[in-house]
Chain A
Amino acid sequence: MKKSQIVMFVMLLAVIPATLLLGMRLPGRSYYLLSAVVALEILVPFFMAFEGRRPRPRELVTVAVMAALVTIARVAVPLPSFKPTFAVIMLAGIAFGPETGFIVGALGALGSDFFYGQGPFTPWQMMAYGMAGVLSGLGFAEGRLARKNWVMGVYCFVCTVLFIGPLLDTSTVTIIATKFTWENMLPIYLSGFPVNVMQGLCSFITLFFFGNAILEKLERVKTQYGMMESEDGI
């Protein structure tokens, strides 16, 4: 078993439950702190796996370009809450697999917060964006789902609305909710819902019209320059 996989198991089975147990005994609004720490703990095994792989320069640059595009996707489209952020992350996940997808998402979130301002939501955002990459990577790995535009679009829409969006709303809940009852949390999730649908719709449109065109670009660069291979194609 790889070192990063061992770390992943230790994190999931020991460290995170321990954090939660310890956190329950802390007073005040420690659930915010707790959730942020757990979000960071989820990042650790992914980062370790990436570090341990000692990626080649060409892979590094490609990942950096994709992560920068995540930020650009937030800047370049002039319509509010209609940003193809998740589409970019998911395409990276589909093209390069779940692990790289996670790195692209997490790094994209951290990087864009350097421009939009870091906040208490940054660890959550890194985790949620990273998960978007993992989800798409897992869904389309080894031909599980057909890489057709509409399949990718629908998958991305469903993931955004049902998983990534609510995950981000949960960070809002841990920051501003005063009581963890459904009655109290529902308004926050409901107010987040239209935004999530818009985001999902934007991802759908991006993938529906450009999905395979962009994937082809990534694949072309991959084969033309031998990127993401274990040895550089030089």
Chain B
Amino acid sequence: MKKEENDAFSQCHPAVGFFFFVGAIGLGAMILHPLYILASGLFAVTYYCLLRGTRGLKTVALSVPVFLLLTFANPLVNHDGQRVLTYVFGRPYTYEALVYGMAIAGMLIVMLLWAGCYNAVMTSDKFMTLFGGVIPTISLLLLMVLRLVPNMIRKVAQLAGARKCIGRGAADNATKKEKALDSLNVLSALMTWALEGGVITADSMKARGYGTEKRSSFRMQKMKSSDIILLSVMAVLAAAIVRLIAGGGTAADYTPIMRITPVTGEHLAGFAAYCVFLSLPTVLYIKEAVQWRISRSGI
């Protein structure tokens, strides 16, 4: 938790974070070019590890077998391609399909890593701040759900414990059927308790004037000028990347014939824009760390 709190990018306005992740994941989904996937992967891994520390490295290491599995599985179902490496079950296992599998697997892992960063940066309170104005009722509902779940998990443990005490719960060596029926019984009891409790919550809400005034949110966050600058920079970069994609600058075909657009000349600028866009959180993190070092050494 501490690491995430120290992250400069997490301190920005929620809109900045949301725009970045929509861009990183959305643009990533449109580009199958190996160089772009590699670049996105590098930045995703760096930022993920900055956020999560050694735990992050573990997740990254765990994604390697998934990457390999998806890579080698693709030629088993996709038989297009020019260069046949071998035959599996009488079907051609091609080089092109293998590279294609690598690209898809890489893209998937990169998307999941960015989603992991999203989970660390865009906490539920930020989500609420961002959407509380647009969909106030749904946001409030979400807030209630997020509060109820841990509450209910505690209650489930209490209910299960109470049932065990009076000899009605499922024993540790119970059959699957007994376990399933027991947990459904607990769920049913939980439902009664939660619905009754809900009435009290609702009355309390009404008593305190729910719906009479616009809701305020937990995070008191104003758009700072630095947030606006960051948003505009990201918008310009994203527009440049979208132009590049629309112009076919990131086109990459794998099967049946491999055709990968080289990153040269005018495309280089687009690639640079992509890298700068994705590096923003990492750059902010490092800038903050360096500033902290300098200001500390000045003491």
Q: In the complex, which residue of chain B has the Cβ closest to the Cβ of A82?
A: B180
Specify which of B97, B116, B119, B149 is in contact with A111 (CB 8 Å cutoff): B149
A118–B119 contact, CB under 8 A? yes
Decide if A62 touches B198 in the complex (CB within 8 Å).
yes
Contact B195 A28 (CB under 8 A): no
B44 CB-CB contact with A under 8 Å: no
A91 to chain B minimum Cβ distance, whole angstroms, is 9
For A74-89 the 0/1 string (1 means CB < 8 A from B) is 0111110010100000
| Known contacts A51-B137, A60-B202; A76 and B29 CB within 8 A of each other | no
Which residues on B sit within 8 Å (CB–CB) of A111?
Answer: 142, 145-146, 149
Which chain B residue has the least Cβ–Cβ distance from A108?
Answer: B145
Residue from the list B101, B141, B195 in contact with A107, Cβ < 8 A:
B141
B159-208 contacts to A (CB < 8 Å): 176, 179-181, 183-184, 186-188, 190-192, 194-199, 201-203, 205-206
Interface membership of B107, Cβ < 8 A: yes
Total CB contacts across the A-B interface at under 8 A? 198
Verify B203–A234 contact, CB threshold 8 A: yes
Q: Which A residues lie within 8 Å of B202 (CB)? A: 56-58, 60-61, 227, 232
Rounded to whole angstroms, the CA-CA distance of A206 and B137 in the bound complex is 30
Q: Quick check: A68 and B148 within 8 Å, CB to CB?
A: yes
Q: With an 8 A cutoff between CB atoms, is A2 at the interface? A: no
- Tell which of A8-16, A131-139, A208-216 binds the partner: A208-216
Q: Does B100 touch A at the CB level, under 8 Å?
A: yes
Q: Tell me the bound Cα distance from A111 to B97 in angstroms.
A: 38
Number of B residues contacting the other chain (C-beta, 8 Å)? Answer: 70
Whether, in the assembled complex, B46 has its beta carbon less than 8 Å from a beta carbon of chain A, the answer is: no
Taken together as a complex, chains A and B put the C-alpha atoms of A73 and B181 apart, in Å, by 13
Complex: how many Å from CA A104 to CA B180?
Answer: 23
Interchain nearest-CB distance for B59 vs A (Å): 11
Q: Tell me, rounded to whole Å, the shortest Cβ–Cβ distance linking A168 to chain B.
A: 17
Other-chain contact of B104, A29, A57, A69, A232 (Cβ < 8 Å): A29
A30 interface contact, C-beta 8 A: yes
- Residue in A closest to B156 when the chains form the complex, CB atoms: A76
Contact status B153-A72, CB under 8 Å = yes
Which residue on chain B has the smallest CB distance to residue A185? B77
Output the least CB separation between B257 and chain A (Å): 14
> What residues on A are CB-neighbors of B29 within 8 Å?
28-30, 32-33, 120
Q: Is the CB of A119 within 8 A of B115?
A: yes
Quick check: A71 and B145 within 8 Å, CB to CB? Answer: yes
Q: Of B214-222, B243-251, B290-298, which binds chain A?
A: B243-251
Complex: A82 Cα to B179 Cα, angstroms: 11
Q: Which of B32, B152, B245 contacts A68 (CB 8 A)?
A: B152
Question: What CA separation (Å) do A103 and B141 show in the bound complex?
Answer: 10
- 8 inter-chain pairs at a CB distance below 8 angstroms, sorted by A residue, are A29-B29, A68-B152, A107-B142, A119-B112, A120-B112, A205-B184, A210-B184, A221-B199
Taking Cβ atoms with an 8 Å cutoff, the residues of A that contact B are 26-30, 32-33, 47, 50-51, 54-58, 60-65, 67-69, 71-73, 75-79, 82, 84, 103, 107-108, 110-112, 114-115, 117-120, 175-176, 178-179, 183-184, 187, 202, 205-206, 209-210, 213-214, 217-218, 221, 225, 227, 232, 234
Nearest 10 CB-CB pairs, A to B?
Answer: A64-B144, A68-B148, A61-B198, A111-B145, A57-B202, A57-B205, A58-B202, A61-B202, A28-B30, A33-B29
* 15 further contact pairs, Cβ within 8 A, besides A29-B30, A72-B190: A50-B138, A51-B137, A57-B202, A63-B141, A65-B194, A65-B195, A76-B153, A111-B142, A118-B118, A179-B78, A187-B77, A202-B180, A232-B202, A234-B203, A234-B206
